[in-house]
A and B are shown apart, each in its own frame.
Chain A
Amino acid sequence: QVQLQESGPGLVKPSETLSLTCSVSGASMRSHYWSWIRQPPGKGLEWIGYFSYSGRTNYNPSLDSRVTISVDTSKSQSSLRLRSVTAADTAVYYCVRGLFYDSSGFLFDSWGQGTRVTVSS
């Protein structure tokens, strides 16, 4: 059973870079799509992007210019970097595993517990 655990600073200053790490256990990172999803306080879910097992990235167009997701298979870790943050980036950030279940269907099948990040000076 795969387990995902997010870690990183809970407070980031405006204009700085948010950096989070996801430690994965119970599954190889050489398959699936390693994703990040966030949820602002009291609001809905927003997909940030993924890093695929083949090394391809795909980002939400609304965040594409500021985000980088990477995977280190030797450490079984995924990383998220979000540059030039503002208060609007305050959210719970989830590390999530994704997969295609048919020719077009994509599923987020395993989620970390989430880590809360506040952007404030």
Chain B
Amino acid sequence: SSELTQDPDVSVALGQTVRITCQGETLRSYNADWYQQKPGQAPAVVIYGENQRPSGISDRFSVSKSGNTASLTITGTQAEDEADYYCKSRDASGNVGLFGGGTRLTVL
């Protein structure tokens, strides 16, 4: 069955650059979107498609893709970037809502 795999936990020093990855065979055919969720809040999209960011989202967030792996990169990580990050794409049947397991980003 289709699945997207993320590292459960990633940490980064304040001001440094961090990459969060998402692996899955369907990423060879589809782009991934990335959602940020802070404690007690609903998720919100931070970047989608080919580096498209909603209004108000910092350009410190960028994405790339190679083969079956999509990556979210945060440059100059700030304390407010500490959150859970979920990638989302499509499954092998084309259904739109395949989520990765999430990555908890800790800013040291």
Contacts and interface: CB of A to CB of B under 8 A. Distances in A.
Contacts of A105: 30-31, 33, 48-49
B98 interface: yes
A48 B96 CA distance: 10
Nearest to B32: A105
Interface residues of B, number: 25
Interface string A91-121: 0001000100110111111011110000000
A68 B78 CA distance: 41
B95 interface: yes
Contact of B98 (A35, A47, A98): A47
Contacts of A47: 95-99
B100 A44 contact: yes
Contact of A109 (B54, B95, B98): B54
B42 A106 contact: no
A106 B90 contact: yes
A45 B49 contact: no
A101 to B, nearest CB: 6
Nearest to B100: A44
Contacts of B52: 101
Given A44-B101, A105-B31, A105-B48, A98 B95 contact: no
Given A46-B99, A98-B96, A107-B45, 6 more contacts: A48-B97, A61-B93, A101-B48, A102-B49, A104-B30, A108-B33
